[in-house]
Amino acid sequence: PGQTAGFHRNEDMKAIDVLPILKEKVAFLSGGRDRRGGPILTFPARSNHDRIRPDDLRRLVAYMATIPSEEVARHGFTVIVDMRGSKWDSIKPLLKILQESFPSCIHVALIIKPDNFWQKQRT
């Protein structure tokens, strides 16, 4: 198994190991690249971010990190988290898992704010 920017790639992990959470479409790699050539990991908008078990999410993130080639992954991932339709407080557990699962492979994390974000900030 190779090293990518401090992250140990678990090349033995297969899609079947995370199939139930893959079917839930919690996250995906589109195959697109950011301007630097890094892979883009997307967490699409969903209303039940908080119902995903942390262990399942950890395994999914670890699996997703192994999909791009080491050469591409070396650039660092761009992570997009779409929080529309979600509660703002459900982002913290996800960010914590991302930080723990591949702490030095994320170049940037972009968070699309929840729909009601500005209303809450005014009160």
What pLDDT digit, counting tens, does each position of 19-63 carry? Answer: 999 999 999 999 999 999 999 999 999 867 667 889 999 999 989
Report the CATH number that the domain containing residue 109 is assigned in CATH: 3.40.525.10
Average pLDDT over residues 7-25: 81
> How many domains does the chain fold into?
1
Rounded to two decimals, the pTM is: 0.81
Residue 31 DSSP SS3 = strand
Percent of the chain whose pLDDT exceeds 70 = 79
Burial of 38 per CB tally in 10 Å (0-12, 13-18, 19+): buried
Examine the pLDDT at 3 and tell me if it is beyond 70.
no
Query: Does 123 map to a domain?
Result: no
Q: Would 100 be classed as within a structural domain?
A: yes
Local structure of 97: helix, strand or coil: helix
Asked if residue 62 belongs to a domain, the reply is: yes
Q: CA nearest 102: which of 73, 71, 69? A: 73
pLDDT at position 6, please? 45
More confident residue, 103 or 38: 38
Structural domain for 53, as ranges = 3-114
At 60 the three-state DSSP class reads: helix
Residue 120 lies inside a defined structural domain of this protein: no
- 4: confidence class by pLDDT, cuts 50, 70, 90: very low
Is the pLDDT reported for residue 91 higher than 90? Answer: no
